[in-house]
């Protein structure tokens, strides 16, 4: 079973959780790989830090291009980054890359770009990509003021695209967030999917450490119930 990882916004910890999931599944003997179809923001080597991290956390030898077929220099909305580069992001190309990667592995962790509805080209957005991949969705909620509204809006978008959110992760971005535990409890009431784990605020986030905060049994229970 592969998964599509989305978040309530950009910068909420999608890459950290995606890499943690790769480590957690690998610890269970799974052959796994990370996939970042679109990345905006790269260095002189034309590599994106998030995609590099996913490649490093993967359990199979794969090239950077297999992990990240579309990489753009500017850290802006992907459709704008693509336009600046004279490129159009094509979902068909992404699907081919995903299928090639999934043929080599037991599971692929697909990390989206930005939020769930961020545009990829003039007609399609990340939700369209998730729908084409037809994967269960894991939602990363950045725990800070406004997170409940952002989470519920994202959940509605997931449901509106006939996809299922099979779990969510609370990533504590603001360690001084008022009523943190109450917010998490409220989200547990509102989100019809299991809380896979709470990632505390970490000075230096480490994906292997974060893997220990995730309960993959809850995903397996969900698959069994289906």
Tens digits of per-residue pLDDT, 112-143? 998 999 999 999 999 999 999 999 999 999 99
Question: Please, which pLDDT band fits residue 103 given cuts at 50, 70 and 90?
Answer: very high
User: Coil, helix or strand for 5?
Assistant: strand
**Has 14 been annotated as catalytic?**
no
Of the candidates 98, 17, 107, the one whose C-alpha atom is nearest the C-alpha of residue 59 is 107
Domain ranges of the chain: 3-225
- Please state whether beta strands 32-35 and 3-7 pair in parallel, antiparallel, or not at all (unpaired): unpaired
Q: What is the pLDDT of residues 180-202, one digit of tens each?
A: 999 999 999 999 999 999 999 99
- Residue 55 token pair: 């490649």
Burial code of 44-74, b = ≥16 C-beta within 10 A, e = fewer? Answer: eeebbebbbbbbebbbeebebebbbbbbbee
Q: Which of 14, 30, 36, 123 is catalytic?
A: 36
Q: In the chain, pLDDT over 70 holds for what percent of residues?
A: 97
- Please state whether beta strands 3-7 and 107-111 pair in parallel, antiparallel, or not at all (unpaired): parallel
Separation between Cα atoms, residue 18 and residue 76, nearest integer Å:
21
pLDDT on residue 221: 62
Decide if pLDDT at 173 tops 60.
yes
Separation between Cα atoms, residue 211 and residue 215, nearest integer Å:
8
pLDDT on residue 45: 85
Query: Which superfamily, per CATH, for 3-225?
Result: P-loop containing nucleotide triphosphate hydrolases (3.40.50.300)
């Amino acid at each position: 079973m592969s998964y599509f990882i989305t978040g309530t916004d950009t910068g909420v910890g999608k890459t950290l959780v995606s890499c943690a999931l790769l480590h957690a599944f690998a610890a269970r003997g799974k052959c796994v790989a990370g996939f970042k179809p679109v990345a905006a923001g790269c260095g002189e080597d034309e590599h994106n830090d998030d995609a590099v991290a996913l490649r490093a956390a993967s359990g199979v030898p794969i090239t950077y291009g297999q992990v990240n077929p579309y990489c753009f220099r500017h850290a802006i909305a992907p459709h704008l980054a693509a336009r600046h580069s004279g490129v159009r992001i094509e979902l068909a190309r992404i699907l081919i890359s995903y299928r090639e990667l999934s043929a080599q592995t037991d599971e692929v962790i697909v990390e989206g770009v930005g939020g769930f509805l961020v545009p990829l080209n003039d007609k399609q957005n990340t939700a369209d990509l998730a729908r084409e991949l037809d994967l269960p969705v894991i939602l990363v909620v950045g725990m800070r003021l406004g997170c409940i509204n952002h989470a519920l809006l994202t959940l509605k978008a997931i449901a509106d695209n006939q996809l299922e959110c099979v779990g969510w992760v609370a990533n504590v971005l603001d360690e001084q967030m008022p009523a943190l535990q109450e917010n998490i409890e409220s989200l547990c009431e509102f989100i019809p999917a299991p809380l896979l784990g709470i990632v505390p605020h970490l000075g230096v986030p480490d994906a292997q450490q974060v893997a220990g905060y995730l309960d993959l049994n809850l995903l397996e229970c969900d698959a069994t119930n289906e």
